[in-house]
C-alpha cells in the first residue's frame, strides 16, 4: 500500500509540475545535461522537451511499472486499472457544464415574470414577427383605402357640380365651388362666395322668394299628406322692435353737448308723474285716490 500511495503521488504531481512551469524546468535540465555531456559521453535518455505531455506521462508510468515489477508482480494489473479509472475521472471532471451562456433576454423575462399566465405567453412569443409584417402590409393597405375613400366621398358630395363637366378633377368655376364646399364641410360658417353686401330690396326679394318656396313645399306636402319636419323657428333679430338709444334717446328733455337739458315743463311733468306714481302706490292700500289723482291731472 505504501508503495502504491507513493506511485499515485508521483503520477499526480508530475503533470501538475509540468503544466505549471515547464520551460524553466526543462531549460535547467537541458543546461545540466549539456554540462554533463560536455564532460562525459552523450546521454541517450529520451528528451522530455521533445515529447508531448501525454506521452511523457505514459513513459513515466511505464518507468514506474518497470520499477515495481521487480518487487511485486501482482500490483501491476491493479495499479493499471486504478490509473485508468483515475484518468477517466479526471476527464469527466474537466468536462464542465457551461450553462449560463444562454440567458433569456429582458423582454422574455418581463413577459414571463408579469402577472399573466404561462399559457398566454406562448402565443405572443411565436406570433409577433409575422404579425408585425402583416401589420405593415395592412397599414399600407389601410392608407391606400383611406385615400380612395376620401376621393369617393368628395366625388359623391360634389357630383352635382360635375353634371356638366366630364372631368373628375374639377376646373375653373367648378373647382372654386368644390373648394367652397370642402371649406364648409370642414366647418366654415358661410360660403366663401355668399354676398355680404347688397341692396335691401335685393335681399328682401331673395328672402321672400325663399319663404314662398318653403311655403309652397309645405303646402304641397300637406295636400299630398306628407308629414314634414316642423318649421324651424324664425330667428327674430334682437334689434327688430325698438332700438336702444341709450341716454340720447331719453324721453325727457333734450340732450345736447353731453348734457341733458330740462326746461320747466319737463321738470313739472317728471314731478307730476312721480306724484302720480306715488299716488298709485298708495291707491292700492287706500283705494280710489290714485284714480282721482289721475283724473285731476
Partner 1 sequence: MATSQPPLRFTSHHNLVYRLVLSTLTGRTVHISQIRSSSPTNPGLAPHEISFLRLLDAITNGSQMEISYTGTVLVYKPGLVTGSTAGTGASGGMITYELPSNCNRGLSYFLIPLCLLAPFAKAPMKVLFTGPGVITSSTPTGDMSVDSVRTAILPLYKQFGIFNNIELRILRRSNTGPTGRGGGGEVQLVFGHQVRLPKTLHLMNAGRIKRIRGVVYSVGVSGSNNARMIETARGILNPLSPDTYIFSDVASAPLVPAPDKTNPQAKKKIGLGFGLSLVAESSTGCLFSADVASPPSGGQAPEEIGKQCAFQLLETVAKGGCVAPAAVTTMFILMTMGSEDVGRLQVGRDVIADPNVVQLARDLSKFGAPGWGIRDAPDNGDGDVIVSVVGRGIGNVGRKVA
Position 109 contacts partner 1 (CB under 8 A):
yes
Count of residues interacting with partner 1 (CB under 8 A): 15
Partners of 259 in the β-ladder: 256
> Which H or E run contains 261?
strand 259-261
Using the rule CB under 8 A, which residue among 24, 77, 95, 115 binds partner 1?
A: 115
Q: Which one, 41 or 92, has the nearer CB to partner 1?
A: 92
Q: Which stretch binds partner 1 (CB under 8 A): 112-120, 178-186, 196-204, 262-270?
A: 112-120
Q: Which one, 1 or 118, has the nearer CB to partner 1?
A: 118
Q: Which one, 120 or 149, has the nearer CB to partner 1?
A: 120
CA–CA separation, 12 and 18 (whole Å) = 11
Q: Which one, 1 or 113, has the nearer CB to partner 1?
A: 113
Q: Which one, 102 or 244, has the nearer CB to partner 1?
A: 102
The answer to whether 295 and 288 have CB atoms below 8 angstroms apart is: no
Position 91 contacts partner 1 (CB under 8 A):
no
Among 11, 93, 25, CA closest to 54: 11
Position 112 contacts partner 1 (CB under 8 A):
yes
Position 97 contacts partner 1 (CB under 8 A):
yes
CB of 217 to partner 1, least distance (A): 54
The answer to whether 76 and 65 have CB atoms below 8 angstroms apart is: yes
Interface with partner 1 in residues 120-139 (CB under 8 A): 120
CB of 106 to partner 1, least distance (A): 11
The answer to whether 10 and 59 have CB atoms below 8 angstroms apart is: no
Q: Which stretch binds partner 1 (CB under 8 A): 20-28, 115-123, 136-144, 188-196?
A: 115-123
Using the rule CB under 8 A, which residue among 28, 104, 144, 228 binds partner 1?
A: 104
Which cell numbers hold the place of 146? 383611406
CA–CA separation, 253 and 250 (whole Å) = 7
48 contacts: CB under 8 Å, gap ≥ 6: 26, 29, 56
Among 284, 277, 285, CA closest to 293: 277
Which cell numbers hold the place of 33? 545535461
Q: Which one, 45 or 113, has the nearer CB to partner 1?
A: 113
CA–CA separation, 283 and 291 (whole Å) = 8
Residue 219, φ and ψ in degrees, nearest 5: -60, -50
CA–CA separation, 65 and 62 (whole Å) = 5
Position 99 contacts partner 1 (CB under 8 A):
yes
Q: Which one, 36 or 112, has the nearer CB to partner 1?
A: 112
CB of 103 to partner 1, least distance (A): 9
CB of 99 to partner 1, least distance (A): 5
Q: Which one, 114 or 191, has the nearer CB to partner 1?
A: 114
Partners of 255 in the β-ladder: 260
Which cell numbers hold the place of 74? 501482482
Q: Which stretch binds partner 1 (CB under 8 A): 1-9, 40-48, 93-101, 159-167?
A: 93-101
CA–CA separation, 142 and 82 (whole Å) = 77
CA–CA separation, 32 and 39 (whole Å) = 11
Position 100 contacts partner 1 (CB under 8 A):
yes
The site for partner 1 (CB under 8 A) is made up of 97, 99-100, 104, 108-109, 112-120
Amino acid at each position: 500500500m505504501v508503495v502504491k500511495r507513493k506511485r499515485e503521488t508521483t503520477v499526480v504531481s508530475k503533470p501538475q509540475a509540468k503544466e505549471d512551469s515547464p520551460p524553466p524546468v526543462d531549460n535547467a535540465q537541458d543546461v545540466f545535461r549539456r554540462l554533463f555531456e560536455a564532460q562525459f559521453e552523450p546521454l541517450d535518455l529520451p528528451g522530455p522537451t521533445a515529447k508531448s505531455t501525454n506521452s511523457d506521462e505514459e513513459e513515466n508510468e511505464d518507468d514506474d511499472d518497470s520499477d515495481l515489477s521487480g518487487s511485486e508482480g501482482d500490483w501491476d494489473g491493479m495499479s493499471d486499472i486504478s490509473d485508468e479509472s483515475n484518468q477517466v475521472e479526471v476527464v469527466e471532471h474537466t468536462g464542465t457544464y457551461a450553462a449560463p451562456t444562454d440567458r433569456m433576454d429582458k423582454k422574455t423575462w418581463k413577459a414571463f415574470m408579469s402577472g399573466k399566465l404561462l399559457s398566454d405567453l406562448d402565443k405572443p412569443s411565436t406570433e409577433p414577427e409575422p404579425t408585425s409584417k402583416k401589420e405593415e402590409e395592412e397599414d399600407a393597405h389601410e392608407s391606400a383605402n383611406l385615400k380612395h375613400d376620401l376621393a369617393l366621398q368628395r366625388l359623391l358630395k360634389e357630383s352635382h357640380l360635375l353634371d356638366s363637366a366630364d372631368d373628375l378633377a374639377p376646373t375653373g368655376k367648378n373647382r372654386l365651388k368644390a373648394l367652397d364646399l370642402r371649406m364648409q364641410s370642414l366647418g366654415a360658417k358661410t360660403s366663401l362666395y355668399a354676398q355680404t353686401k347688397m341692396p335691401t330690396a335685393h335681399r328682401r326679394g331673395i328672402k321672400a322668394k325663399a319663404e314662398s318656396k318653403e311655403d309652397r313645399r309645405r303646402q304641397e306636402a300637406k295636400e299630398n299628406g306628407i308629414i314634414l319636419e316642423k318649421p324651424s323657428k324664425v330667428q327674430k333679430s334682437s334689434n327688430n322692435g325698438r332700438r336702444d338709444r341709450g341716454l340720447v334717446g331719453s324721453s325727457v328733455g333734450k340732450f345736447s353737448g353731453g348734457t341733458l337739458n330740462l326746461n320747466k315743463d319737463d321738470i313739472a311733468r317728471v314731478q307730476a308723474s312721480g306724484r302720480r306714481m306715488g299716488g298709485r302706490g298708495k291707491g292700492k292700500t287706500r283705494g280710489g285716490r290714485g284714480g282721482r289723482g289721475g283724473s285731476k291731472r
